[in-house]
Amino acid sequence: MTETDFLSLLNRIDFPRRYWELCDRVHSTPSGHANLGRKADILAAFAEAGVTARYDSRDRSFEFEEELIGGLTWSGLFVKQRHGVELMIFGTSKDATVGSNFAVLAYNAKRLADPDFERSPFGGGPPPYPRPAPGSDAAAMREVVKQHVDLVRMIKDELRQQPTA
């Protein structure tokens, strides 16, 4: 699967809209605090979503839902950064990697469908690469984790529908 094929697949499930709606719903105001939830709380949120995530302390990431589909091993990756979270999906093999963070995928998919599309903070528009911002709100963090799992599963469901070469 090429990156263009993957972006087309994301458009078929209306991924850009779904992701941007999540960012709009979960957007705390910066408080100067970097308390984005403890590892145990995030793992508990994954468990509530029916997922066992593997934590990697090197980059404070949680990998989940690893599955071989179409010759690539796909998995979701949730990264707890100092001042926010990064939601990702990747498909990898020894010869290729497809995927990225959700912010880039949403923008690139929308641009593939409409080359004139632009998100820009200039002129009062939305930022081009938003992220959900749960801040220190535990319920908001649970929602972000659940929605990330739901989006990864939706993408993988669509991947399974693709004809194999």
Q: What are the boundaries of each domain within the chain?
A: 3-160
Residue with structure tokens 């929605």? 147
The set of residues, in sequence order, having a beta carbon less than 8 Å from that of 132 and lying 6+ positions away, is 22, 23, 25, 26, 27, 84, 85, 87, 140, 144, 147
- Residue 32: pLDDT band by 50, 70, 90 thresholds? very low
> What pLDDT is attached to residue 165?
53
The pLDDT value recorded for residue 31 is 52
Can you give the pLDDT at residue 158? 97
pLDDT at 65: 95
Q: How far apart are CA 155 and CA 33, in angstroms?
A: 33
- In angstroms, rounded to a whole number, what is the distance separating the alpha carbons of residues 10 and 16? 8
Backbone angles phi, psi at 119, to 5 degrees: -105, 130
**Which pLDDT score is estimated for 119?**
85
Is the full-model pTM beyond 0.85? Answer: yes
